[in-house]
Chain A
Amino acid sequence: MRSSLGRAAVVLLLLTTAACTADDTTARPSGSTPAQPETSTSAAPADTSCNPRASLRPSGSLPEPGRMPAGSYMAEIYQRGRLVLGTSQDTLLFSSRNPFTGEIEGFDVDMGRQIAEAIFGDPDKLQIKVVAYDKRVDSAKDGTVDVVADTMTANCTRWNSVDFSSIYYESGQKILVSKDSTIKGVDDLSGKKVCAAKGSTSYDNLGKLTSRPERVALASFGDCLVAFQQNEVDAISTDDTILIGMAAQDPYAKVVGDRYTEEPYGMAISKDHPEFTRFVNAVLQKNRENGTWKATYKKWLGQFGPVPNPPVAQYR
């Protein structure tokens, strides 16, 4: 961190000198802004003011489908006739478009379908809206979607804007490189171009690495894979689950290194209706206990190893 601050100071100094010699009337702040974001975000310490895994405790038992408590947000969804799920369409295994059918499917989509089933008794009463990575918090917050399930890490910064469900998947960040690459872990990323989606925690985490890779932010991880296949970036770094989905599509790619971060996935829900978050947690709790979670895991991720136990729910 010290070196990055030192570098920022040098950059600032150079820019100021350049601005002064070129034209004394040039405003210094505007001249120095381009260099700022990169260094400031990477220098920002992680927000550890909370336990991001702890969600709202479910209240009582789950109501029968079709019998939502009057005045609750679930009743509103029932009235509308469909649950609106915010997700992506290019994260293979979690939420991606099946090229054969055109349907969006995956682990995250099934999470949404299980909530729809609990409300309507019909998992198909689900409307999928694709939200950009950097719009996930906003679209849950402003009610564009009822719930976001999109490989989204629950962290304290996001908890300030939205509520998260209890953790439904534990992931961690790794690196995807080409088959013949010499990169073996995060320490080898120095000076390499590494892609991550704009607005993802993966992008922020890359900024904290001491090896200081050159970060490339694209709109989605699908775009990162396109850039990787066109040799525009040397590596992609994000949650291992997403990387496995990419490697499955590209026999010339491999996932390397150990998990260097912890990424607990939660579903984002607006703070305006905590009763819905409690309801979703009750659905998750039921599915952890009756084996639905394991079945879902097996369906999408079973090919990569034995099915683990579901993450244990934590409540405040």
Chain B
Amino acid sequence: MTTTLTPPGGLVHRVGRLRRHSPGRLQLILAALVTLGLLTGLVAGLTANAASTGTADLGDREQPLLVEAETIYTSLADADTTAAQAFLAGGLEPADLTRRYDADLARLATALTSASRRTPQESPAAQAVEAIAAGVAKYSALVATARADNRQGLPVGASYLSAASTLNRETLQVQAQALFQIAQDEVDAGYADARSSWWLTLLVALFAVLAAALIWSQIYLSRTTHRTFNVPLLAATAAFALLFVGAAGVFGAQRGHLSSADRNGSTPVSTLAELRIVALSQRADEALTLAARGGGGDSEAHFDAVTPQADFDDPALDDVRTEMNSARDGYAAYLALHDQVRELDDGGDYEGAVDLAVGAKSGTAFASVTDALDRAITDRKAAFTSQITSAGTGLDLLTVLGPLLALIGCVLAALGIRARLEEYR
């Protein structure tokens, strides 16, 4: 044949020639339907796969990383506060403060290990985790020296503690905040991946074209063959309709659960995490202001500056209203006590200020804030996990069954049209 010698022009020419007679047109319809059908099945499978991977990543990697970044930050802030309070107490470190400091560092180490497992090598998040881990080693060495000096009654211990605190606040906490921001961005990106909007748009477009093609082919066949219905083609349409309904159901449910996971899980967890960071940094400010013995100063200015950020009435926290109410009350009580501490210190009663700040009353008020926040975070983390698990339901099934159903549809369509082609032989 001459056409094979000039393929591009020849192919167009041959297809063009097919259009001019009935069997040719039928062959064209068959080819178009099968191509569209297979493509739709393939894209349905790929979309389900992408959505499944995205949802799993969100649940197993991105969201946990955010929670760990927050743990890293708050452990650092709490260790700093605890060390400063132990210093304020004077004499030998109170045993309960030593235990709290040790627990902070243990939690920090666990969160760092777990976070490094969840971050790809060389990524900004991994670099932040590495930098913090290296700094924490130096930090704990400085605190250990301060303790040893304190044991021997050497005043230089206070300078070691101040060097440790500076490292904690000005380097480690800054890196932890950066990690928290990276993790927050990754969660946002994770939601986009889980929604797989590009894939889904392509799939919807393919379904639309396929539906149009199926309907048009059946109208064409009923006009040209004097048979109202082509049964196999009708069955193929039903198969594709089933695929459509199934996909719509699975993806619709997934998106609904993702929205819930975001609204009732990720968003409140982030808001709560930020609240806890604010509260803990204020507690550290208070202790550091007293430890510096300068009266007021930068730490106290920071305390006042972040107070308005402690908004327990944020609508995002409506699901944990009860906890937020008790957190708000505890916070108000703590602020009143803090004002008393400042009043005492500014009024010259330093010992009274220290006693109140590290005493049981302040401790209880502050613990009621952090305890309520802890409960709320645990509650919202559970809500997130349950929604994410539901969001993943059916996606893996669709990955396998989608292409299979499309294949069945294609076979049926081929059977229907081949029956008509036979009539021309």
A: residues with CB less than 8 A from B are 81-82, 84, 89-90, 92, 96-104, 127-132, 220, 222-223, 225-226, 229, 246, 249-250
What is the total of A-B residue contacts with beta carbons within 8 Å?
73
Q: A92-B155, A102-B88 are in contact. List 16 more A-B contacts (CB 8 A).
A: A89-B158, A89-B293, A90-B155, A92-B156, A99-B153, A99-B155, A100-B91, A100-B153, A101-B91, A102-B89, A103-B90, A130-B293, A222-B162, A223-B159, A223-B162, A249-B156
Residues of A within 8 A of B162 (CB): 222-223
Give chain A nearest CB distance to B114 CB in angstroms: 31
Do A99 and B158 contact each other (CB < 8 Å), given the known contacts A81-B348, A127-B348? yes
Which listed residue (A131, A226, A250) contacts B294, Cβ 8 A? Answer: A131
Give chain B nearest CB distance to A206 CB in angstroms: 20
A-contact 0/1 string along B148-167, CB 8 Å cutoff: 01100111111110110000
User: Which residues, 131 to 171 on B, are CB-close (under 8 Å) to A?
Assistant: 145, 149-150, 153-160, 162-163
B: residues with CB less than 8 A from A are 88-91, 145, 149-150, 153-160, 162-163, 292-295, 348, 350, 354
Which listed residue (B149, B159, B294, B348) contacts A130, Cβ 8 A? Answer: B294
Nearest B residue to A81, CB-CB? B348
Which listed residue (A127, A220, A226) contacts B350, Cβ 8 A? Answer: A127
Contact: A99 with B150, CB < 8 Å? yes
Contact: B90 with A129, CB < 8 Å? no
Residues of B within 8 A of A82 (CB): 348
Contact: A98 with B159, CB < 8 Å? no
Give chain B nearest CB distance to A176 CB in angstroms: 12
Give chain B nearest CB distance to A20 CB in angstroms: 37
Residues of A within 8 A of B145 (CB): 229
Residues of B within 8 A of A250 (CB): 156
Give chain A nearest CB distance to B368 CB in angstroms: 27
Complex: A229 Cα to B157 Cα, angstroms: 12
Residues of B within 8 A of A98 (CB): 153, 155
Residues of B within 8 A of A104 (CB): 293
Residues of A within 8 A of B292 (CB): 130
Residues of A within 8 A of B163 (CB): 223, 226
Complex: A128 Cα to B149 Cα, angstroms: 24
Contact: B155 with A96, CB < 8 Å? yes
Give chain B nearest CB distance to A202 CB in angstroms: 17
Residues of A within 8 A of B157 (CB): 99
Complex: A2 Cα to B89 Cα, angstroms: 54
Residues of B within 8 A of A226 (CB): 156, 159-160, 163
Nearest B residue to A132, CB-CB? B294
Which listed residue (A97, A131, A246) contacts B158, Cβ 8 A? Answer: A97
Complex: A226 Cα to B158 Cα, angstroms: 10
Contact: A102 with B91, CB < 8 Å? yes
What are 22 of the A-B contact pairs (CB < 8 Å)? Answer: A84-B348, A89-B155, A89-B293, A97-B155, A98-B155, A99-B90, A100-B91, A102-B88, A102-B90, A102-B91, A103-B90, A128-B350, A129-B293, A222-B159, A223-B159, A225-B159, A226-B156, A226-B159, A229-B145, A246-B156, A249-B154, A249-B156
Nearest A residue to B88, CB-CB? A102
Which listed residue (B159, B295, B354) contacts A220, Cβ 8 A? Answer: B159
Residues of A within 8 A of B156 (CB): 90, 92, 222, 225-226, 229, 246, 249-250
Complex: A99 Cα to B350 Cα, angstroms: 16
Greatest chain B CB density within 10 A among A89, A92, A103, A225 is at A89
The list of the 4 closest CB pairs from A to B, nearest first, reads A102-B90, A222-B159, A127-B348, A130-B293
Contact: B154 with A99, CB < 8 Å? yes
Nearest B residue to A225, CB-CB? B156
Contact: A129 with B159, CB < 8 Å? no
Do A222 and B90 contact each other (CB < 8 Å), given the known contacts A127-B348, A129-B293, A130-B292? no
Give chain B nearest CB distance to A256 CB in angstroms: 20
